[in-house]
Structure 1
């Protein structure tokens, strides 16, 4: 088990990374959409899915290092936090004349968060499980 001080430091790295990623998302939301987004159908939804998939993994890095034994902190809390950020981002876009609040964007945000975290946890648990079985 990792030393509590090293887990706290790792959580701080993930906090800083999460804040930086959120800043990038909001800076991007302040700009007019890239021309390619209108040329390729659904590309904006894929971008939302991926961006919020990355964000949930960064937030998971925070919560899993603060309370690693808590299933709620490992799964539920990161998705709730990312959902709130997604809602805030969509509301923020209302202040930009070249942007609009889109429910499908929010759905892509939440889907990206849930699927990314689920896949990550599934793969991580399988690898950890194999390593544990091989070490016996």
Structure 2
């Protein structure tokens, strides 16, 4: 384990929490730019977890769960709302930063029709 990276991941997660606790009128990003911000923020979190020594699946799973909790948290912030598309952007950013290409898995790719 690389404890310094995991500590940075914790600090980054707290920064995400503080940013998502801002009331809706103070955010300032409109669609689609907010999706890029979501992808970048959670991509960094996933990368910090992975380079901190967590397995790939754990890095992606923890990031996706934290993103889900972030969306739930926003239900209670004035002017904010939970959004499935935001969560999908979070997970996509994590997958990109971890280099996960769903189409590259041989088990998936070889399921096509045989000729």
TM-score with structure 2 length normalisation? 0.79
Number of matched pairs: 99
Gaps of 5+ in 1: 1-7, 65-72, 120-136
Distance in 1 separating the partners of 2:57 and 2:45: 14
Structure 1 residue 61 corresponds to structure 2 residue 51:
yes
- Secondary structure at the aligned position of 1:105 is classed as helix
Structure 1 residue 104 corresponds to structure 2 residue 85:
yes
Partner of 2:104: none
Larger Rg: 1
**Aligned partner (choices 70, 82, 98) of residue 117 of structure 1:** 98
**Residue deviations 1:100-119 (CA, integer Å, cap 9, x gap):** 00000000000000011107
Show structure 1 runs of 4+ deviating over 2 A: 32-36
Partner of 1:122: none
Structure 1 residue 25 corresponds to structure 2 residue 6:
no
Q: CA RMSD in A?
A: 1.5
TM-score with structure 1 length normalisation? 0.68
